[in-house]
Amino acid sequence: MDSKLLETLSFEEGYDRLEQVIQQLESGDLSLEQSVALYEEGVQLAEYCGHKLDDAELRVNQLLNAAAETVLRIEDAN
């Protein structure tokens, strides 16, 4: 798979695709070129997913509308 294309995948898309790749490989009936291409794609996907998981940082946002600010003020007062 094109590495640029790979970058556009979400973790779960990569993970699902990896499972597909393995199933395809295991089903056999492939030419050597197809097998090798699938294998290379699978290895890339596994690495990609691993990095994605390792490098991710949790993003936290807080809904801050008027109501929420009131809540915060009350909490602080408490």
Partner 1 sequence: MQVRTVSEVTAHIKDILDGDPELGDLWIAGEVSNFKRATSGHCYFTLQDAQAEIRCVMWRQQAMRLSWEPEQGDHVEAHGSVSVYERGGAYQFYVDELARGGVGLRWLQLLQLKARLEAEGLFAPERKRPIPAWPRRIGVVTSPTGAAVRDILRVIGTRYPLVEVVLSPAIVQGSEAPASIAAAIRRLSAEPGIDTVIVARGGGSVEDLWAFNDEAVARAIADSTAPVISGVGHETDLTIADLVADLHTATPSTAAAAAVPDGAMLRANLAAMEARLAQVMSAQLAAKRQNLAQLERVLRRFDPRRQLAEYRQLLDERLQRATRVVQRGLALRRARLDGATARLTALDPQRVLDRGYAIVQDAATGARVRSVEQVRPQQELDVHVSDGHMRTIVVDHTGP
Name the site residues for partner 1 (rule: CB under 8 A): 10-12, 15, 18-19, 21-22, 25-26, 28, 30, 32, 35-36, 39, 42-43, 46, 49-50, 52-53, 56-63, 65, 67-68, 71-72, 74-76, 78
Sign, CA torsion 60/66/67/72:
positive
Instruction: Look at the chain and count its residues.
Output: 78
Q: For residues 2 and 57, which CB has a smaller minimum distance to partner 1 in the complex?
A: 57
Q: Copy the structure tokens of residue 16.
A: 């699902």
Annotate 17-32 with b (16+ C-beta within 10 A) or e (fewer): bbeebeebeeeeeeee
The least CB distance from residue 20 to partner 1, in Å, is: 11
In the complex, minimum distance from the CB of residue 7 to partner 1, in angstroms, rounded to a whole number: 15
